[in-house]
Amino acid sequence: MRTRLSITLEPGLGLDPPPVVELQNWFDRPYDNAVATARTCYSSKVIYPEDVSKSEKARELRDRIAGSTYQAGHHTTIQHPTFQFVLRRVSRQLIWSFLHQHPFYNSEQVSQRYVKVKEGNYTVPPLPSAEARAVFDDAARAQMAAYERLIELLRPTVEREYFQVFPARRRRAERWAGAVEKRLYEAARYVLPVATHAHLYHTVSGLTLHRYRRLVDLYDCPAEQRAVVGAMARLVEQVDPDFWKHADDPLPLEETLEHALFTRFHGAQGDAGTTRAFVAEFDARLDGRRSRLLDWKVNGEASLAQSVRTVLGLPRERLPDDEALRLVLDPAAHRALAGGALNLSTHLKLTRALHHPHFTFAKKLSHTADSQDQRHRMTPGARPILAAHVLLDDEPDVVLPEAIVRTPAAHEAFLEAARDTLAAMRRLRDLGATPEAWQYLLPNAAAVRFEESGDLLNFHHKWSLRLCFLAQEEIWRASREEVLQVREVHPTIGALIGPPCWTRRRAGVTPYCPEGDRYCGVPVWSQDVAEHNRLI
């Protein structure tokens, strides 16, 4: 039985407490495996890892092939070896900015929606002085105290709403206390700092690890990235000392275009006037929405209908546009959309036609909601350098859940805590802390502005999941806005998108709700998306 490999980083790196990185599972002989796959492409037989290192001559050939394929950019060979890590005491900022900012990973991480955050569980970044450390600790502890306070201030609102949805459960309220608590955690977490700890499984290919190693110095949190990725690399080196033989050195931040342009337009510490103008311009485009449709293929419905006909080998006279759209999108005709446990849309010939319609949205979400939104990796977004968006000298720039907005005492308590946090961040700036460091105090509610694009196949999957009333409330609201706007430009497509229970009812699959005892309590399957409404 394998023993997991672990590294606890030294406090001297400037991160306190230091993260813990474990290698839980890995390919044996990953370097040899990669070269064996390369050689197989040009061999009359399959080449195995043991073949490429069986003699000195074989090893010389192995290293020559590994070096040449790496330098030529033929990197599919190092996608085969896979590594599963366990990461502990890493910040939410690291996960949002680096680990989940691309499509080539798999993660399962602790949820702040369902697990209460314990006091003191946060990362302190490198700071210039003991005074700055004291300011940071005081601010983080205050944010965690505000979290506890918000839980209690929100309790009457959340309990009232929950038992309005489930009136029969009021008679045994203690049995449902856990369900209420989770909804309180979901709303109260908006005041927590992005420095708050998470633990997770994180699985990546050897190619992604090479890219991590090359890019550790990029915005927004290079110190933590260097520490965590450096530990990952050292653990893999323990498994196979040859794995990094041809790897590139880290790319210095100063050599990136992002750094050059940020410095040119914002200066080292940011330009408040430029940021203020950008924020005003971006929010004006949103016109009061969380997500606004900016661009789409004007012939989306026609191209989708034609691609359905192409798959089936039919002329237009045999399958008109409206009927083609219904066949591929209406669960009553296409029962595979009701899906069962697996999403098969990418694999089915007909649903691959959904790749052709395309949409682009401008979006404004909280940091915590965007951390969930970015998990939909096939609807990618151009997310910001945070230092280019944050205004330390203005009012808090945040996005809040309705439960806080509609509870005056909680709303005021949140704003008071957020203003205190901004004051602490300004103090850190004045004490010489870098933007990387003071950003760790940003609350989960901090606004993140970006553009997001994708095709109908992947938006359809996302919207179907996120229109469920159990979805995170802010993502649910953005998804509802998006579907209603799609209806305006592609009415046939938009009318055939709904939550999982609507899809199952349309397909004749029972029970309509697939969530079992997690049922939201609202018969959403009988409502139009335009009628959907929720508080928690």
> In angstroms, what CA-CA distances link 360 with 179, 280, 324, 367, 485?
36, 20, 24, 20, 11
Whether 359 is covered by a domain: the verdict is no
Q: How many helices and strands (H and E) does the chain possess?
A: 19, 9
DSSP assignment of 195-245 equals TBEEEEEEEEEHHHHHHHHHTTT-SS-HHHHHHHHHHHHHHHHHH-TTTTT
Minimal CA–CA distance to 3: which of 239, 191, 164? Answer: 239
Which CATH number does the domain housing residue 100 bear?
A: 3.30.1360.170
Written as six digits, the tokens of 236 are 């893999």
Minimal CA–CA distance to 81: which of 34, 119, 114, 113? Answer: 34
**To the nearest whole percent, how much of the chain has pLDDT over 90?**
93
Kindly report, residue by residue over 109-159, the tens digit of the pLDDT: 999 999 999 999 999 999 999 999 999 999 999 999 999 999 999 999 999
DSSP assignment of 28-62 equals SSHHHHHHHHHHHTTSSSPPPGGGGGSSHHHHHHH
Whether 68 is covered by a domain: the verdict is yes
Whether 28 is covered by a domain: the verdict is yes
Q: Report the side by side order of strands in the sheet with 291-296.
A: 291-296, 358-366, 447-455, 381-382
Kindly report, residue by residue over 217-274, the tens digit of the pLDDT: 999 999 999 999 999 999 999 999 999 999 999 999 999 999 999 999 998 777 899 9
Kindly report, residue by residue over 436-459, the tens digit of the pLDDT: 999 999 999 999 999 999 999 999
Whether 64 is covered by a domain: the verdict is yes
Kindly report, residue by residue over 356-372, the tens digit of the pLDDT: 999 999 999 999 999 99
Q: Please state, in angstroms and rounded to a whole number, the distance separating the CA atoms of residues 277 and 188.
A: 30
Give the total number of structural domains in the chain: 1
Whether 275 is covered by a domain: the verdict is no
Whether 47 is covered by a domain: the verdict is yes
> In angstroms, what CA-CA distances link 85 with 105, 267, 431, 461?
11, 37, 36, 28
Structural domain span for residue 60: 5-113+196-258
Whether 283 is covered by a domain: the verdict is no
Q: Which amino acid is at 190?
A: Y
Q: What is the pLDDT of residue 11?
A: 65
Whether 93 is covered by a domain: the verdict is yes
